[in-house]
Amino acid sequence: MSRSLTGRVALVTGAAKGIGAGIAKAMAVAGASVVVNFATDRAGAEGVVGEIEAAGGNALAVQANVSVVAEVEHLCAEAVAKFGTLDILVNNASVFAFAPLEQTTDEQLHKMLDTNLWGTIVTCREALKYFGRDGGCIVNIGSMSSERFSPGAVAYTASKAGITGVTGVLAVELASRGIRVNQINPGAVDTEGARTIGAMSDEARAAHVARTPLGRVGTPADIASVAVFLASDDAGWLTGECLAVSGGLR
Position 1 scores a pLDDT of 54
Torsion of CA 154, 203, 22, 238, to 10 degrees: -60
CB count in 10 Å sphere of residue 228: 27
For residue 177, the number of C-alpha atoms closer than 13 Å in the C-beta half-sphere is: 19
Q: Which one of 156, 167, 180, 200 is the catalytic residue?
A: 156
Domains, the chain, with CATH or none: 9-244 (3.40.50.720)
The Cα–Cα gap between 145 and 131 comes to: 31
- Single-letter code of the amino acid located at 41: D
* Phi, psi of 88, deg, nearest 5: -135, 130
Q: What angle do CA 116, 31, 38 make, to 5 degrees?
A: 30
Position 113 scores a pLDDT of 97
Sheet with 179-186, side-by-side order of all strands: 59-63, 33-38, 9-12, 88-91, 136-141, 179-186, 242-245
Position 182 scores a pLDDT of 98
In contact, 23 and 227? CB cutoff 8 Å: yes
- Go through 91-102 and write b for each residue having 16 or more CB atoms within 10 A of its CB, e for each that does not: bbbbbbbbeeee
- Single-letter code of the amino acid located at 163: I
The Cα–Cα gap between 108 and 29 comes to: 36
Please list the ranges in the chain whose pLDDT falls under 70: 1
130 is catalytic: no
